[in-house]
Structure 1
Amino acid sequence: MRFVIIGAGRVGLRTARVLRDEGHDVTLVERDERKIGRAREQEFTVVEGDGSHEDVLEEAGIAEADAIGALTGDLNTNFAACMIANHNGARTIMRIDEDYREDIYRKYADAVDEIVYPERLGAIGAKNALLGGDIHAIADIAQNLQLVELTATEESPMRGYSLSEVELPASATMIAFGKAEGSLMIPDEDESLELGDRVVVLADFDVLADVRQLIVGDASRAAPAGGV
């Protein structure tokens, strides 16, 4: 899939790394020279300019993008970028800070596909929103440790297996399990993982992609939309 990320700060750059590590095509838009240099050192394609300007987003490839992540600390820039992306048919994800009033949140939430709070969810939450997938960040436990909830899909290689047969990476632990229509409970190793079932995993950031592949499955890796 193709993504345009507005803002190469801490959240934007980390989100871009997560997406790239999963095989997606990412272009960053940034106007700060220092941040541009840091992103290019990590071999990202960066378009220099203001992400609220249509010509800048066109240069970044917004017409071919599956989604845009407006992840700067400037709400007006984020909103303008999302409105331009919306006209181009891209999924729109907008960062908003937690200290905004509820009425402001609702105003913006109605105009974009999804709102993210990076202070609460970190980069993995922003990535989840961009993909619109079946993995959701619950909390950042530590700098490299995430608590996530995953939903099994038809592509899950573990669908039909018992929980005792689901071998997660060494730095990942299943802490809760829920059937599609049930509540989350302590995992029972005799339960089987079926379509729509939910699994809560505590995992090191570096193995989240592997955990996702096991529980959710990821057909996009084999045939990315739009090419990579």
Structure 2
Amino acid sequence: MRVAIAGAGNVGRSIASELLANGHQVLLIDRDPRAIKTESVPDAEWLLADACELSSLEEAGLDSCDAAIAATGDDKVNLVHSLLAKTEFGVPRTVGRVNHPRNEWMFDDLWGVDVAVSTPRLMCALVEEAVTVGDLVRLFQFRKGNSNLVEMTLPDDSPAVGQRVGALTFPPAVVLVAIIRDGRATAPQRDAALEGGDELLFVTDPEHERELAELLTPNHVRPSVIDNTVGI
């Protein structure tokens, strides 16, 4: 897979290194000469150019890319690059980095963004997931369907503690996908008993999130689910 990354800062270079390690081809684009540090990612292609100019993207061969990642620190640049990649060059998949939460609403298909990654919201979600016990935390939204990835760490007083997974009746459109215990994730087994402190990951219809929370922790339910959604 060939991937173009707009923005060769720390974020862009880190993404490039991971993609190269997984066997993909990577093109890094940046208009700042100081960002062109070819020795930092020697296996990538590098282009000193404006990622929002059609001529530069034509030179980059963006139409031959399978994915375009807008990873600059400027939301306006990320939106324009995503829009051009999608509408002018027909890139099948675009990913846009959101730097400021107030701009999240613009990162959608109208601007050519298939996947929006909000750095502040992602960090908040990870913090909530790490420290919250007894509350349902919404982590990710699957934009291609009406489903969310949610997490709950079971408190010791949950009525689900000691119950077999197969004995629990979850709401419709709720699927338990993993149980994390002692730092290890396992696939849920019908005869496995839940324990206090278990971290449960569900894919669920948003309409049934509160019902799920009431089932697992009726004494902990907040007025609404903690929403730290990152769209994917």
The TM-score with structure 1 as length reference comes to 0.53
Higher relative helix content: 1
**Aligned pair partner of 1:95 in 94, 97, 107:** 97
Aligned counterpart, 2:115 = 114
Map 1:151-162 → 2, pairs under 5 A: none
Map 1:39-188 → 2, pairs under 5 A: 39-43=38-42, 44-87=44-87, 88-90=89-91, 91-97=93-99, 99-101=100-102, 104-111=103-110, 112-118=113-119, 121=122, 181-182=175-176, 184-185=178-179, 186=181
Whether the 8 Å CA contact 1:8–1:39 is kept in 2: the answer is no
Unaligned runs of 5+ in 1: 123-136, 142-148, 150-177, 193-198, 201-228
- Mark the structure with the bigger radius of gyration: 2
The residue identity in structure 2 corresponding to 1:33 is P
Report the Cα distance in structure 2 between the residues aligned to 1:118 and 1:23, rounded to whole angstroms.
25
Aligned counterpart, 2:23 = 23
Measured at CA, do residues 45 and 109 of structure 1 come closer, stay the same or move farther in structure 2, by a change above 3 Å? same
Determine helix, strand or coil for the equivalent of 2:116. Answer: strand
The TM-score with structure 2 as length reference comes to 0.52
Determine helix, strand or coil for the equivalent of 1:39. Answer: coil
Query: Displacement, 1:77?
Result: 1.2
Whether the 8 Å CA contact 2:5–2:68 is kept in 1: the answer is yes
Tell me if 1:11 matches 2:5: no
Measured against aligned partners, the alpha-carbon deviations of 1:134-175 in whole angstroms (never above 9, x if no partner) come to xxx967x9xxxxxxx9xxxxxxxxxxxxxxxxxxxxxxxxxx
**TM superposition outliers: structure 1 runs of 4+ over 6 Å:** none
Whether the 8 Å CA contact 1:70–1:95 is kept in 2: the answer is yes
Query: Displacement, 1:118?
Result: 3.6
Report the Cα distance in structure 2 between the residues aligned to 1:55 and 1:61, rounded to whole angstroms.
10
Number of residues of Structure 1 aligned to a counterpart in Structure 2:
142
Q: What RMSD over aligned residues (CA atoms) do the two structures have, in Å?
A: 3.4
